[in-house]
Amino acid sequence: MFLGIGEGMQIHGIVIKMGLVCDLYVQNSLVHLYGVCDDCRSAGKVFDEMPVRDVVSWTSIIAGYARAGLFDEAVTMFLSMNVEPNTATFVSLLVGCGRSGNLRMGRRIHGLIFKRASKVSLEASNALMDMYVKCECLSEAKQIFHELPKKDIVSWTSIISGLVQCQRPKESLVLFRKMHSSGIEPDGVILTSVLSACANVGDLDYGRWVHEYIDRRAIKRDIHIGTAMVDMYAKCGCIERALQTFNEMPCKNIFTWNALLNGLAMHGRGYAALKFFEEMVGEGSTPNEVTFLAILTACCHSGLVDKGRKYFNQMISQQYNLSPRLEHYGCMTDLLCRAGLLDEALMLVRTMPMAPDVLILGALLSACKDKGILKLPQDILDHLIELGTVDSGLYVLLSNIYASKQRWTDVTRIRRLMLEKGIKKFPGWSVIEVDRQTYEFVVGDLKTWSC
């Protein structure tokens, strides 16, 4: 049973009364205790008062600082060590490197590990792989993974979860299949990552298989797995199954609510999203920026202008005091433009604390085209030049607006600007799945006719 900081301090007091405070084993235990409880000040005090320190002492204080996010202090301690570090020392430092994104120090530690050890332990290899994943250096992580003579569940979890986090879901699913065929039983952490990968690529069949596997193996469906299931079903087009899974969950956190609200928004279920939002607030959950983005998206897709205004104002009110990001302004601009409220949309864009992005400019341009307005595009062209965007869609849309009014000089000007910037119009493409194989099509493509 793990003791809290209060009980730990009581034991520390008893240790002092019994005269055991100078015992190295006891001192190391106290440093470790305070480090685990994120009380680095007390851990440092005990460490500084130690007359003798061994590798366990140094590793405990380094691990405590790294766990608390005090990476500079952890590195300072490491550089001050007067004893030979061991695997646990390096692992503690690598954890800090990963959390802080300090790739330079991580590579330095990598070099030290190989320099000091003829054979790198599995624990150190897993820590190195996890560090590279968190620093988004997948090539190094994959190299370490493939060179491992033996892989455990931690190895597989690190690389598969890392691929999902770095937006490489297809690769993660390939590796998961290899892991499963090798006889290693996945745990809840890796299954959560696999469900997220299925959601990202829209692989409903495999997502269902994972769901059935969890139930068949009686794996505890915790809040993380449940949330991943809701997200997977919603993104794969099964909103009713997402709702069923959501309602079956005994406990929900803000991520669970956000997954459902996003799914309802994507499926045009605006009123249902608003209903669940009010239910969420009624149960005591506090919405965050992601929640409001989902609600504004729901309002946008369902044309709920008044509701959109209400929730946007609620977001910035004293009740929640959240700062809208560019995505929130983009949703509101799109909502107003779709409703034909171009003047209100322009006013909103002009009062934004940041410059509009490609999506906002695109919404304004589309509204201009629908209304046949030509005054606004020149202002937008200036923004396009300032942004330096290479999105051909906006330039083509602007050109089409001028062409519809037979303003050929302006059309030529836009086309010339595209040539000067090296902007090309790329053909549209679509994806279908046949017999668990994904096929991509572009205009005029005859290569994939066999599917």
Residue 1 has pLDDT above 50, yes or no: no
Is residue 245 within 8 A of residue 229, CB to CB? The reply is yes
217 three-class SS:
coil
Residue given tokens 């906006």 in the structure block: 394
Residues contacting residue 218 through CB under 8 Å, at least 6 positions apart = none
Report in angstroms the alpha-carbon separations of 278 from 140, 204, 275, 292, 316: 46, 30, 5, 12, 17
Buried b (16+ CB within 10 A) or exposed e, 120-154: beeebbbbbbbbbbbbebbebbbebbeeeeebeeb
How much of the chain exceeds pLDDT 90, in percent? 42
Q: How confident is the model at residue 431 (pLDDT cuts 50, 70, 90)?
A: low
DSSP letter, residue 425: P
Report in angstroms the alpha-carbon separations of 31 from 47, 68, 69, 212, 225: 6, 14, 16, 45, 35
Whole-model pTM: value is 0.78
SS (H, E, C) 191-213: HHHHHHHHHHHCCHHHHHHHHHH
Closest residue by Cα to residue 388 from 429, 343, 358, 426: 358
pLDDT digits (tens, 9 = 90+) for 269-314: 999 999 999 999 999 999 999 999 999 999 999 999 999 999 999 9
pLDDT digits (tens, 9 = 90+) for 65-76: 888 888 888 888
Q: Which residues pair with 437 in a beta bridge?
A: 434
Q: Which residues pair with 439 in a beta bridge?
A: 432
Residue 435 has pLDDT above 70, yes or no: no
Return the pLDDT at 389: 59
pLDDT digits (tens, 9 = 90+) for 328-339: 999 999 899 888
Return the pLDDT at 366: 74
Of 57-66, 235-244, 362-371, give the lowest mean pLDDT range.
Answer: 362-371
Number of alpha carbons in the 13 Å side-chain half-sphere of residue 315? 24
47 token code pair: 């460490």
438 vs 375: CA distance, rounded Å = 45
How much of the chain exceeds pLDDT 70, in percent? 80
DSSP letter, residue 322: P
